[in-house]
Amino acid sequence: MDDAARRLEREINALGRHMRARPRSMELHLDRSAYLVLLLLDYAGPSTLKEIATELELEQSTVNRQVNKAIEHGLLEADGAVSGPKRIRATAAGRAAFQRDRDVKLRGIGSIMADLDETDREALISGLTALNAALAARAGES
């Protein structure tokens, strides 16, 4: 294994540890699956279960369970389409809960990013963008 892969592995694991050990002031209300679906809908707009599963790279049965749970909690709703797949959208309560958690997360990210100089911030964003593009391309190959 090359040194770059080992260094990246170490940094990804450290990042995961730091993200899980968030301070109490960063109290979130949504579970991770609901947040990710609401984040996707915020970017993409109303989507079918298949579109959500494809974008999140999850089995459709998993997305079905997650979406049904979020519907039960009043965070999501399905349109009343008579024919064709139903589109899932956030309810007003879902949008409000998402925005609350997103604001908390963005404040935390912002305070961390403030500790970095502009060059390091841009390098971090560019590096993560390139890594995600490479991962997406690799996922498309399989």
Domains and CATH numbers, the chain: 28-141 (1.10.10.10)
pLDDT band for position 32 (cuts 50, 70, 90): very high
Reported as a single tens digit per residue, the pLDDT across 110-139 is 988 999 999 999 999 999 999 999 988 887
DSSP state of 131: H
- Identify whether the C-beta of residue 97 lies closer than 8 Å to the C-beta of residue 30: yes
Chain centre to alpha carbon of residue 58: 13
C-alpha span between 142 and 138 (Å, rounded): 7
- Report the residue count for the chain: 142
